[in-house]
Amino acid sequence: MIKDITLGQYFPGESILHKADSRVKIILTFAFSLVTFVISSYVGFLALAVFTMIGIKISKVPIRYTLKGLKPLVFVIAFSTLMNLLTTEGTAFFEYKFIKLTYEGMDTAIKLTLRLSLLIMITSLMTLTTTPISLTDGLEKLMNPLKKVGAPIHEFAMMMTIALRFIPTLLEETDKIMKAQASRGADFESGNIIQRAKSFIPVLVPLFVSAFRRADELAMAMEARCYRGGKGRTRMKQLRFKSLDFILLSVSIGVAVLLVFVLR
């Protein structure tokens, strides 16, 4: 299950999306994340899903690799679906004692599942096609106007990128610790939810120790390279908009407008 998380990972490639400016990808990811919460019709969800699949196809990232990132959400989706079914008022299609399932609850649960799934796929598509360095530069460029009010833009962008960069590392570390604990007799599968949660305590302690150790090593490495923040910092690769970026931005914005104002 841990290996199925794709958010924060980078998939090397030479596709159109890989070559696109990171600022464009960040803007489009943010825009389509908002679109997932604006649309409410199944036609709109279908159109957005098709557009997302086209983006995955263009990126040349294996569809199975992208879809497996949804596996860790199964419990969240199942829990939210059950809560919506049990708590939403409306026309009932099943009643038994205190249990009442409604058509409105089913509709809300299905749409919530679609929103969560599309949100994860859209965000994963950005991180899979953007290197951490490009992501940092793009975030910093987009937030440049906030420097006028004294906001630490470079530090914020660096913090966000490091957090994304270390998601795969911490997941790999968690997997190693779980296997080590399982070889010593730990059981993570049997028992109820409370028992399973307790069984993860021997995993969390060494994981936190490892995370703090990695953070300390990273800080020492940055100091050894005379890192002093964004002041006076130069870049080997400058971000420049190309014709490809304008085409990608125009087409995507057109699709977003169609989804919000026509197919909503």
Judge whether residue 7 has pLDDT over 70. no
In a domain, 178, yes or no: no
Instruction: Determine the 3-state secondary structure of 93 from DSSP.
Output: strand
Least confident of 92-96, 173-177, 219-223, 254-258: 92-96
Domain of residue 116: give its range: 2-130+242-261
Judge whether residue 3 has pLDDT over 60. no
234-255 pLDDT, tens per residue? 666 777 888 888 999 999 999 9
143-155 pLDDT, tens per residue? 888 878 877 887 7
In a domain, 61, yes or no: yes
Angstrom distances, CA of residue 201 to CA of 81, 150, 177: 28, 41, 11
pLDDT at 5: 62
In a domain, 190, yes or no: no
In a domain, 93, yes or no: yes
Q: Which residue has the tokens 């950005």?
A: 126
How many domains is the chain built from? Answer: 1
Instruction: Determine the 3-state secondary structure of 95 from DSSP.
Output: strand
16-34 pLDDT, tens per residue? 999 999 899 999 999 999 9
- Counting beta carbons within 10 angstroms of the beta carbon of residue 126, is it exposed (0 to 12), middle (13 to 18) or buried (19 or more)? buried
In a domain, 86, yes or no: yes
- For the stretch 200-209, contacts whose Cβ atoms lie closer than 8 Å and that sit 24 or more positions apart, written own/partner, are 203/174, 203/177, 203/178, 206/177, 207/170, 207/173, 207/174, 207/177
In a domain, 26, yes or no: yes
In a domain, 246, yes or no: yes
In a domain, 218, yes or no: no
38-52 pLDDT, tens per residue? 998 899 999 999 999
